[in-house]
């Protein structure tokens, strides 16, 4: 990166005082003094601490409302008495009461002497925790359907899923990322019929997945017919497709070879997209992988008398739970989507002994997951409660809903390509001499899409505007990456980090103290994002950091600071910002860009 980073000076690990923890302990003691035996435990008290909405109120607030019953006093009176009995808390500068709240101001030296040093010392590890130590987290995400388009509807599962995986990893969980490829099912019967009718081997080898999708769309249209144009539906081709799939199920060599080839071609392309996002999977065990694992589960359902025959199909009746039945076997005995999910869950539990297994899909599948989670419970698998479905809203572009079956969709790779082209054009203008232009254009273009998507709550429907996503001015990925690059260039200009101790005694100005206060929240934000399964917490945090950093950059001279201590402190603060931004980027598929 061109500057010599004197990390050795910071290798001593600072044992940072966990301020909230110490404060919670002190509050506990104070309550005990007032009314012995009534204090909640420290963890509960720590969790009751809030961040006041307005900075002038202080850094932390403790609401006394909940204590009112046990202490038989009004909250303002509790606040007043606690403020008097509260013992000595290191780095606590001031305690104020405001109605039923106790407000606390933390001394700046806590942030300059502890937090800042901790960020510099821990570097890539800053923000990590051990909450998940010894536990295993399995996550099923992305999971496109082979030979159907990998379209923008999959953006959600891909980037939310990856982010949840990274977040868990960051807090100590052992993680297993599974791409549950939709590589089995009647669509392959259709594709085989279409290929035999109209397919061309070399064309497909060259054209890849697009050619497969073309065939798939064509056969669907032909089967459907067109009433308005007087073109009849082709039930014969629908039947042929079922027959071809059935042949696949009984291991017909020709069909299996074709199927393998279709999967391979599709995978090749998915991997290109995953690479652009920096995503890898630990397993690509798709739906086909569970073929030989289903009979045992069907048998268990039978043994427990859970299967009912309904019009020839085997179902689990869920009316008692106010849900439609879960379909297990079709009339011809072939398995269904829920059957494969049940077998997959049992396999994963046996193979990975997970403590939590998550599935990220669009909200259209909420019922599907509720149904088969219930079936698993009825089957007597006691760990059913460890399964979690994470749904997300639909995506549209410029207000237009996206259909899948018709081929009228925006492919993820096209969306990325459009973004990359636009960024390349902007860069040609702004910074024509930049090295690795192509690499940067890809990181910024793809990052813009991901960041834009992840600034919204996952459950909300998302309407895409490419221009908004790519803007360098708004609350966007390019803005965040640009801020990161700005940090890098300042450190380079400064000739690297100052020696340890060079900033000693410096008292930060407002913009500086609010920036470190924000940086200090990173670890908690990671936990909040996990608690709510919500990567948006991280994107919004990144924007807060960028906002605070740019204010600091505007208010303070860094390299040309007024004193050597100020300069040293500001370079350290810039380095800490860079570290926190870089670590946070890693949690949401955003690449670090030292230069833009």
- Residues within the interface to ligand ARG (CB under 6 A): 140, 143-145, 180, 182, 341, 359, 361
CB-nearer residue toward ligand ARG: 171 or 361: 361
To ligand ARG, the closest distance from the beta carbon of 180 in angstroms equals 4
Closest CA to 202 of 248, 156, 261, 154: 261
CB-nearer residue toward ligand ARG: 158 or 240: 158
To ligand ARG, the closest distance from the beta carbon of 375 in angstroms equals 14
CB-nearer residue toward ligand ARG: 140 or 269: 140
In Å, what is the CA distance from 472 to each residue of 16, 95, 199, 420, 482?
36, 42, 45, 14, 8
Phi, psi angle pair for 176, to nearest 5°: -130, 115
To ligand ARG, the closest distance from the beta carbon of 182 in angstroms equals 4
CB atoms closer than 10 angstroms to residue 281? 22
Using Cβ positions, the residue closest to ligand ARG within the complex turns out to be: 182
To ligand ARG, the closest distance from the beta carbon of 491 in angstroms equals 43
E strand or H helix that includes residue 171: none
E strand or H helix that includes residue 105: strand 101-106
Cα separation, 452 vs 333, in Å, equals: 45
To ligand ARG, the closest distance from the beta carbon of 316 in angstroms equals 17
CB-nearer residue toward ligand ARG: 81 or 288: 288
Burial 429-441 (b: 16+ CB within 10 A, else e): eeeeeeeeeeebb
The two beta strands, 174-178 and 313-316, are unpaired
To ligand ARG, the closest distance from the beta carbon of 153 in angstroms equals 8
Q: State both tokens at 162.
A: 């990856």
Cα separation, 206 vs 130, in Å, equals: 48
CB-nearer residue toward ligand ARG: 182 or 594: 182
CB-nearer residue toward ligand ARG: 180 or 567: 180
CB-nearer residue toward ligand ARG: 182 or 582: 182
Cα separation, 96 vs 198, in Å, equals: 78
The two beta strands, 101-106 and 92-98, are antiparallel
To ligand ARG, the closest distance from the beta carbon of 175 in angstroms equals 17
To ligand ARG, the closest distance from the beta carbon of 458 in angstroms equals 15
To ligand ARG, the closest distance from the beta carbon of 273 in angstroms equals 14
Q: State both tokens at 89.
A: 């808390």
CB-nearer residue toward ligand ARG: 110 or 141: 141
Instruction: Give the list of residues 6+ apart from residue 182 with CB closer than 8 angstroms, or none.
Output: 143, 144, 145, 146, 148, 286, 287
CA atoms within 13 A on the CB side of 391: 14
To ligand ARG, the closest distance from the beta carbon of 359 in angstroms equals 5
In Å, what is the CA distance from 248 to each residue of 61, 197, 492?
64, 18, 60
To ligand ARG, the closest distance from the beta carbon of 287 in angstroms equals 7
To ligand ARG, the closest distance from the beta carbon of 463 in angstroms equals 21
Q: In what order do the strands lie in the sheet with 174-178?
A: 174-178, 136-140, 356-362, 387-392
In Å, what is the CA distance from 176 to each residue of 133, 245, 287, 445, 490?
14, 31, 17, 28, 38
- Residue 158's SS3 state is helix
CB-nearer residue toward ligand ARG: 334 or 365: 365
To ligand ARG, the closest distance from the beta carbon of 320 in angstroms equals 24
Cα separation, 451 vs 535, in Å, equals: 10
For residue 319, the 8-state DSSP code is: G
CB-nearer residue toward ligand ARG: 25 or 365: 365
Q: In what order do the strands lie in the sheet with 101-106?
A: 60-63, 101-106, 92-98
CB-nearer residue toward ligand ARG: 359 or 416: 359
**Which residues lie across from 395 on neighbouring strands?**
462
CB-nearer residue toward ligand ARG: 361 or 514: 361
CB-nearer residue toward ligand ARG: 75 or 144: 144
CB-nearer residue toward ligand ARG: 180 or 591: 180
**Which residues lie across from 146 on neighbouring strands?**
none
CB-nearer residue toward ligand ARG: 182 or 586: 182
To ligand ARG, the closest distance from the beta carbon of 573 in angstroms equals 44
Specify whether the CB–CB gap between 264 and 146 falls below 8 A. Answer: no
- Residue 353's SS3 state is coil
Closest CA to 273 of 408, 437, 415: 415
Closest CA to 138 of 103, 109, 199, 180: 180
């Amino acid at each position: 990166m061109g500057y010599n980073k004197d990390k050795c000076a910071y290798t001593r690990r600072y044992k940072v005082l966990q301020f909230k923890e110490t404060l919670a302990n002190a509050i506990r003691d104070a309550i005990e003094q007032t009314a012995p035996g009534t204090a909640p435990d420290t963890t509960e008290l720590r969790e009751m601490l809030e961040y006041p909405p307005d900075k002038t109120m202080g850094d932390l607030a403790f609401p006394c409302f909940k204590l009112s019953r046990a202490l038989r006093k009004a909250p303002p009176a509790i606040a007043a008495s606690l403020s008097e009995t509260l013992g000595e808390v290191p780095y606590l500068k001031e305690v104020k009461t405001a109605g039923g709240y106790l407000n606390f101001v933390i001394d700046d030296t806590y942030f300059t002497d502890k937090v800042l040093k901790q960020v510099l010392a821990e570097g890539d590890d800053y923000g990590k925790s051990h909450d998940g130590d010894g536990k295993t987290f399995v996550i099923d995400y992305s999971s496109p359907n082979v030979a159907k388009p990998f379209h923008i509807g999959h953006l959600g599962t891909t980037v939310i899923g990856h982010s949840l995986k990274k977040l868990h990893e960051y807090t100590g969980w052992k993680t297993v990322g599974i791409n549950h490829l939709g590589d089995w099912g009647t669509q392959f019967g259709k594709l085989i019929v279409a290929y035999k009718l109209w397919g061309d081997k070399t064309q497909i080898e060259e054209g890849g997945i697009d050619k497969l999708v073309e065939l798939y769309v064509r056969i669907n249209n032909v089967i459907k017919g067109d009433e308005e144009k007087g073109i009849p539906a082709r039930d014969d081709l629908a039947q042929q497709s079922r027959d071809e799939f059935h042949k696949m199920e009984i291991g017909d060599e020709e069909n299996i070879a074709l199927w393998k080839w279709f999967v391979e071609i599709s995978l090749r392309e998915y991997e290109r997209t995953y690479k652009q996002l920096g995503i890898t999977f630990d397993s690509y065990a798709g739906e086909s992988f569970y073929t030989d694992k289903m009979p045992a589960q069907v048998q268990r359902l039978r043994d427990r008398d859970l299967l009912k025959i309904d019009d020839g199909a085997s179902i689990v009746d869920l009316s008692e739970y106010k849900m439609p039945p879960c379909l297990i076997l079709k009339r011809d005995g072939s398995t269904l989507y829920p059957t494969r999910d049940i077998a997959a869950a049992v396999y994963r539990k046996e193979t990975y002994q997970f403590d939590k297994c998550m599935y990220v899909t669009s909200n259209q599948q909420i019922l599907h997951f509720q149904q088969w989670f219930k079936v698993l419970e009825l089957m007597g698998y006691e760990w059913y409660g460890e399964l979690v479905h994470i749904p997300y809203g639909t995506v549209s572009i410029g207000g237009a809903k996206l259909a899948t079956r018709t081929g009228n969709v925006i492919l993820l790779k096209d969306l990325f390509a459009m973004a990359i082209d636009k960024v390349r054009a902007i860069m040609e203008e702004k910074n024509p001499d930049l090295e690795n232009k192509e690499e940067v254009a890809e990181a910024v273009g793809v990052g813009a899409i991901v960041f834009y998507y992840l600034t919204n709550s996952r459950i909300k429907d998302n309407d895409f505007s490419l221009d908004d996503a790519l803007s360098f001015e708004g609350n966007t990925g390019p803005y965040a990456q640009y801020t990161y690059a700005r940090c890098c260039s300042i450190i380079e200009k400064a000739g690297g980090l100052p020696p340890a101790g060079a900033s000693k005694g410096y008292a930060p100005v407002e913009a500086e103290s609010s920036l470190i206060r924000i940086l200090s929240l990173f670890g908690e934000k990671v936990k909040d994002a996990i608690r709510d399964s919500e990567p948006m917490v991280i994107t919004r945090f990144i924007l807060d950091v960028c906002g605070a950093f740019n204010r600091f950059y505007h208010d303070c001279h860094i390299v040309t600071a007024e004193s050597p201590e100020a300069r040293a402190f500001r370079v350290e603060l810039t380095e800490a910002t860079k570290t926190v931004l870089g670590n946070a980027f890693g949690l949401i598929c955003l690449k670090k860009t030292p230069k833009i």
